[in-house]
Structure 1
Amino acid sequence: MTTTQAKPSSTGTDKTGLTEMAWDPITRIVGSLGIYTKIDFSQERVAECHSTSSVFRGYSIFMKGKDPRDAHFITSRICGICGDNHATCSVYNQNMAYGVRPPHLGEWIINLGEAAEYMFDHNIFQENLVGVDYCERMIAETNPGVLELANRTESPHGGDHGYKTIGDIMRALNPFTGDFYREALQVSRYTREMFCLMEGRHVHPSTLYPGGVGTVATIQLFTDYYTRLMRYVEFMKRVVPMHDDLFDFMYEALPGYEEVGRRRVLLGCWGAFNDPDHCDFQYRTMTGWGRKMFVTPGIVVDGELVTNDLVDINLGIRILLGSSFYRDWEDQETFATHDPLGNPVDRRHPWNQHTIPAPQKRDFDDKYSWTMSPRWYDGTDHLALDTGGGPLARLWATALGGLVNIDEIKATGHSVQINLPRTVLKPEVSFEWKIPHDKQGRPLSNAIERNRARTYFQAYAAGCALHFIEKALAEVRGGNTKTWQKFVVPDEAISVGFTEAVRGVLSHHMVIRGGKIANYHPYPPTPWNGSVRDSFGTPGPYEDAVQNTPIFEESRNEDFKGIDIMRAVRSFDPCLPCGVHMYKGDGKPLHRMTSPSMLNTI
């Protein structure tokens, strides 16, 4: 893992006068994401973008024939970053297949583990990975005029976070030397400890099973979690106003910056944090218990909530191939013609998917990536939903749903209110995330608002955790210490698990025949966000967000870093492991470059 910035390679100018530039790899976590662009420097705008993934994992292939009870242990290895999200989703999936309902305490423990994961992962990505894009050293290299202004601009909420000017905030984000950068690393340590208290280890939980957890629930266990949680709550009371100051300044310093990474509002959220008072994991009742989640599922189109029904969400999922390195499965076996409610299941649904790799040379006019193209069919169009990096979709769907109403979190129909209690050094604080709009009143999904939502959702997760821990303690004090319920694996079953990985929507779809896995397809946020042009020619969210992004960077030629492009892509919290077979053609490197600057190496 690195905090540094890749320098683009340039293959020259094409016939239209556009400059071809590529960042491959770009992500600061896993080096399998490539962004290939054509830039019109005369108009200071990106004209074209293709997103590529160079990895093929094949989990859906080797899961076949496995014992379903091993599914969560295997699928957690999909990712070394959010493996616990996969394990959790797989357990939800298995609970449905086995018809098992875990004890309430087991579910509260899982919720506490997932809340800690959101707090850990969002913190380290926001401060130690994305934050570098807005640090003093990066701004000095790409927009020195902005840094001069930042040094003269007082922070509106300086009294809350302790940084007098915006320039001070930027210096605090400098990798390895900035005080806030270093503090965030310590925060990521104790939030990971919080997760391990609940589920044994991070990132592949050892006490998480279908039917509940193997965690031994004691007052001491929850006290150890609670003490760390309150430290985090106090931390967030500084972080939210600090990031608001920084992001608001970017809009002010660079008029028009709201267009960077902007795309049509097409957001998907599958919901998170089940309420054990309502969730029985049955497909037939999924509409009801899905709406009782503490993060409301929903699909938001042009700022409006289309549905928050998990049955509708499930049936609308389509897997399109288009520009990806796979052969079609039209001539293959169909696993499910109808869901448990009798609704017809489409041939393109994950229950019926076959993964048939077709490696070949990358061709941007044909096939160019290992990432498929998940879409959501609304009855008319196959929508290229994105997750807004996870938090933007979660907060937006929850706000519009207006269903969450606990002391710490309230969804109002147009915003989300987050109430954090008094801590050692700070009084009770309330934050309100409001659905973002531009100056013309249009709903806004762009790079800055994805990043801002990530900050607010950290506070949201902390608020939820406060609620969950009180519920868990009440169970223990009442003598309800059972955390696991036995089950029997059926010979035949069809099931689905829905939750939110850190970066957004996560679903696991399974078909059991003869007591073994006949078909299994995990769909994390990466194939949704990083998808490629589908069979209808629709670009994926990364591609769509970068195309037409304006260029505000002052540096040009060899010094050009493409920071605005990087901010657009990284606002989605890219993480490609979910996407290893490598295909090497007969080509040769066009250009090899090593950069002298620490910020330009990876």
Structure 2
Amino acid sequence: MTVTQPQRASGAGTESLVDMAWDPITRIVGSLGIYTKIDFNQRVVAECHSTSSIFRGYSIFMRGKDPRDAHFITSRICGICGDNHATCSCYTQNMAYKVKPPAIGEWIVNLGEAAEYMFDHNIFQENLVGVDYCEKMVAETNPGVLEQANRTDAPNAGAHGYRTIGDIMRALNPFTGDHYREALQVSRMTREMFCLMEGRHVHPSTLYPGGVGTVATVQLMTDYMSRLMRYVEFMKKVVPMHDDLFNFFYQALPGYEMVGNRRIMLGCWGSFQDPEHCNFEYKDMTDWGRKMYVTPGIVVDGKLVTTDLVRINLGIRILLGSSYYQDWEGQEMFVTEDPLGNPVDKRHPWNQHTNPQPQKRDLDGNYSWVMSPRWFDGKDYLALDTGGGPLARLWSTALAGLVDIGYVQSTGRSVKINLPKTALKGPVELEWHIPQWSNTLERNRARTYFQAYAAACALHFAEQALGEIRAGRTKTWEKFDVPKDSIGCGFTEAVRGVLSHHMVIRDGKIANYHPYPPTPWNASPRDSFGTPGPYEDAVQGQPIFEENDREHFKGIDIMRTVRSFDPCLPCGVHMYLGNGKKLEMLHSPTQTAGIE
């Protein structure tokens, strides 16, 4: 953290603001920096800017490549959610090649992606975000809250085994807390589940357009299910434990609901295809999109605007605003109409050009390598966020009321999750209710519930896959031809939210390719209209509850808010070396001694 001398804000009267920056944000991957002005007199964050300091160039060097390599290349965008990129790229290629994978192939992909959700959300929630609420952190930032936690009985103690809220906080202490250590073991198990289906974590070795290379056997499903049931048992404890912890913060700190709170503007692109309905053809995308086991949707002010993937696709706009790029005004339009004849905007990913323009950071001008994706509803350019992924997914699915598979049901106002009997516990029904706020605590709470949701969906997928295997339908891949000219788009949910890939093929090669993961949506800077990005909006204006004075201020409430989005900057920015310059560094023998 860096701190500068107080500066008087324009129109602030006698109030003074203190510049404070956290750069880089720790416990995440990437180069995210949060720059704030804090009013310690009013105990509020007066201003916030979200920055990213590195650029890479996937949208540039994908050009001219063989389209069949797209999923292998784009998987390397990120070392955390690479499989989500590979999956989305295969969806994009399936559309472009007009190929429909066999049903067992899709069930295997769903099982792999469910394992990834379970793995990543578990390790982030328990071992990274959980540290923000552990005994050691609360003792350093809100000792009064810790005293109250030690005196407060946990309402769900019978379900999770911790008598007081203070006991839960101690269980989250890094390396010493028993829940922290147990979660590390669970993360290993979920990674094994992923590898059973997709071969390698996190860059799949068995995922292809047209299906998968995984050999479908009863033993494969048995190995997966044995681990899944242990995870299901784990979630029966975790959900009520986190409910107790997050509800306590509302109780202990009146007004804490405003930490990280922003207008409800959530985007979800849907996840888990139903092979009975999904043929990956654009003309049918509205219908098969609504058959996903996580329903795509845009929620504004608590209302479901649309569940139509075609409308969602056509509404995407890439604005530059405060980012380090030249505009592509006047450059080639690759796609003027979609396959249904709808006009495609020049600011749509199909038509985007990436023109990097490195420059010095200027918080009053351009200050980030992240662009500003927005969704145009016909009137406004909405700065949608993903709620860290799970909040948008559960909210959209709940309101749509389209999912009912026994293990999970969406009711129009909630999502019910039915976990079957396990070795030590009987069946449990969990219910996530649509919250009043889109804030820090509810993003974290949704992450816990979605782990259980992914596990319940995986139970269904495994049963369907076993049905295919027992019926002798074990072909996992369908042949295809790469057309000379085509376009494709893929939609799914990366761990931390919306993920789309858009590809244009000309003369059998990639002419344009743009992946848009959740990070640019969440971490975007102020756009061309001056609208802050979601990180900025959620932090800016939030109250400060930390008990430390300015000299010892840790910014825990700010960090909790930013981390509640599950930030992961590699997906937002990529590497740049200028005009093909060769970089060399000369070392003397003493300088290189000991370097391997």
Instruction: State how 1:173-572 maps to structure 2 within 5 Å.
Output: 173-437=172-436, 444-572=437-565
For the 8 Å contact 2:399–2:412, the answer to whether it is kept is yes
Deviations 1:217-239 (A, max 9, x none): 11001000000000000000000
Cα RMSD for the two superposed structures: 0.9
Deviations 1:143-180 (A, max 9, x none): 00000000010100001001000000000000011110
Match for residue 5 of structure 1?
Answer: none
Structure 2: which amino acid aligns with 1:458?
Answer: Q
Q: For the residues of structure 1 that align with 2:568 and 2:518, how far apart are their CA atoms?
A: 9
Deviations 1:383-427 (A, max 9, x none): 000000000000000000000011100000010000000000001
Change (3 A) 1:582 1:333: closer
Match for residue 590 of structure 1?
Answer: none
Q: For the residues of structure 2 that align with 1:91 and 1:27, how far apart are their CA atoms?
A: 32
Structure 1: which amino acid aligns with 2:132?
Answer: D
Tell me the SS of whatever aligns to 1:118. Answer: helix
Q: CA deviation at 1:284?
A: 0.3
Q: CA deviation at 1:582?
A: 6.7
Q: For the residues of structure 2 that align with 1:98 and 1:345, how far apart are their CA atoms?
A: 21
Structure 1: which amino acid aligns with 2:495?
Answer: V
Q: For the residues of structure 2 that align with 1:578 and 1:294, how far apart are their CA atoms?
A: 25
> Aligned pair 1:146/2:145, yes or no?
yes
Tell me the SS of whatever aligns to 1:175. Answer: coil
Structure 2: which amino acid aligns with 1:160?
Answer: A
Q: For the residues of structure 1 that align with 2:70 and 2:331, how far apart are their CA atoms?
A: 23
Q: For the residues of structure 1 that align with 2:31 and 2:200, how far apart are their CA atoms?
A: 26
Match for residue 600 of structure 1?
Answer: none
Tell me the SS of whatever aligns to 1:12. Answer: coil
Match for residue 598 of structure 1?
Answer: none
Q: For the residues of structure 2 that align with 1:31 and 1:209, how far apart are their CA atoms?
A: 28
Tell me the SS of whatever aligns to 2:510. Answer: strand
For the 8 Å contact 2:56–2:576, the answer to whether it is kept is no
Q: For the residues of structure 2 that align with 1:253 and 1:583, how far apart are their CA atoms?
A: 50
Match for residue 126 of structure 2?
Answer: 127
Match for residue 584 of structure 2?
Answer: none
Q: For the residues of structure 2 that align with 1:296 and 1:175, how far apart are their CA atoms?
A: 35
Structure 2: which amino acid aligns with 1:265?
Answer: I
For the 8 Å contact 1:13–1:20, the answer to whether it is kept is yes
Q: For the residues of structure 2 that align with 1:231 and 1:389, how far apart are their CA atoms?
A: 25
- TM value normalised by structure 2: 0.95
Q: For the residues of structure 2 that align with 1:456 and 1:328, how far apart are their CA atoms?
A: 41
5+ residue gaps, structure 2, are 10-15, 579-596
Q: For the residues of structure 2 that align with 1:130 and 1:367, how far apart are their CA atoms?
A: 30
For the 8 Å contact 2:502–2:515, the answer to whether it is kept is yes
Q: For the residues of structure 2 that align with 1:217 and 1:304, how far apart are their CA atoms?
A: 41
Tell me the SS of whatever aligns to 2:147. Answer: helix
Tell me the SS of whatever aligns to 2:5. Answer: strand
Tell me the SS of whatever aligns to 2:294. Answer: coil
Q: For the residues of structure 1 that align with 2:195 and 2:480, how far apart are their CA atoms?
A: 25
For the 8 Å contact 1:105–1:480, the answer to whether it is kept is yes
Match for residue 592 of structure 1?
Answer: none
Tell me the SS of whatever aligns to 2:403. Answer: coil
Q: CA deviation at 1:559?
A: 1.5
Q: For the residues of structure 1 that align with 2:413 and 2:237, how far apart are their CA atoms?
A: 24
Match for residue 35 of structure 1?
Answer: 34
Q: For the residues of structure 1 that align with 2:571 and 2:447, how far apart are their CA atoms?
A: 20
Tell me the SS of whatever aligns to 1:268. Answer: strand
> Aligned pair 1:9/2:8, yes or no?
no
Q: CA deviation at 1:581?
A: 3.6
Q: CA deviation at 1:583?
A: 9.1
Deviations 1:516-565 (A, max 9, x none): 00000000000000001000000000000000110000011331100000
Structure 2: which amino acid aligns with 1:365?
Answer: D
Moved beyond 3 Å, runs of 4+: 580-584
Tell me the SS of whatever aligns to 1:137. Answer: helix
Q: CA deviation at 1:54?
A: 1.1
Q: For the residues of structure 2 that align with 1:109 and 1:459, how far apart are their CA atoms?
A: 19
Structure 1: which amino acid aligns with 2:76?
Answer: R
Deviations 1:185-211 (A, max 9, x none): 000000000000001000000000000
Structure 2: which amino acid aligns with 1:445?
Answer: S
Q: For the residues of structure 1 that align with 2:365 and 2:348, how far apart are their CA atoms?
A: 23
For the 8 Å contact 2:25–2:32, the answer to whether it is kept is yes
Q: CA deviation at 1:30?
A: 1.7
For the 8 Å contact 1:27–1:574, the answer to whether it is kept is no
Tell me the SS of whatever aligns to 2:288. Answer: helix
Match for residue 593 of structure 1?
Answer: none
Structure 1: which amino acid aligns with 2:86?
Answer: A
- TM value normalised by structure 1: 0.94
Q: CA deviation at 1:9?
A: 1.1
Q: For the residues of structure 2 that align with 1:21 and 1:10, how far apart are their CA atoms?
A: 5
Q: For the residues of structure 2 that align with 1:77 and 1:186, how far apart are their CA atoms?
A: 26
Match for residue 23 of structure 1?
Answer: 22
Percent identity reads: 78
Tell me the SS of whatever aligns to 1:47. Answer: strand
For the 8 Å contact 1:447–1:567, the answer to whether it is kept is yes
Change (3 A) 1:582 1:355: closer
Structure 2: which amino acid aligns with 1:138?
Answer: M
For the 8 Å contact 2:89–2:490, the answer to whether it is kept is yes
Q: For the residues of structure 1 that align with 2:351 and 2:366, how far apart are their CA atoms?
A: 22
Q: For the residues of structure 2 that align with 1:31 and 1:517, how far apart are their CA atoms?
A: 28
Q: For the residues of structure 2 that align with 1:174 and 1:146, how far apart are their CA atoms?
A: 16
Match for residue 587 of structure 2?
Answer: none
Structure 1: which amino acid aligns with 2:529?
Answer: F
Between 1:165-174 and 1:551-560, the stretch displaced more is: 551-560
Q: For the residues of structure 2 that align with 1:318 and 1:558, how far apart are their CA atoms?
A: 42
For the 8 Å contact 1:359–1:583, the answer to whether it is kept is no
Tell me the SS of whatever aligns to 1:329. Answer: coil
For the 8 Å contact 2:57–2:576, the answer to whether it is kept is no
Change (3 A) 1:81 1:172: same
Between 1:573-582 and 1:43-52, the stretch displaced more is: 573-582
Structure 1: which amino acid aligns with 2:224?
Answer: Y
Q: For the residues of structure 1 that align with 2:199 and 2:505, how far apart are their CA atoms?
A: 29
Q: CA deviation at 1:352?
A: 0.2
Tell me the SS of whatever aligns to 2:514. Answer: strand
Q: CA deviation at 1:182?
A: 0.5
Match for residue 588 of structure 2?
Answer: none
Structure 2: which amino acid aligns with 1:121?
Answer: D
Tell me the SS of whatever aligns to 2:473. Answer: coil
For the 8 Å contact 2:295–2:307, the answer to whether it is kept is yes
Match for residue 578 of structure 1?
Answer: 571
Q: CA deviation at 1:31?
A: 3.9
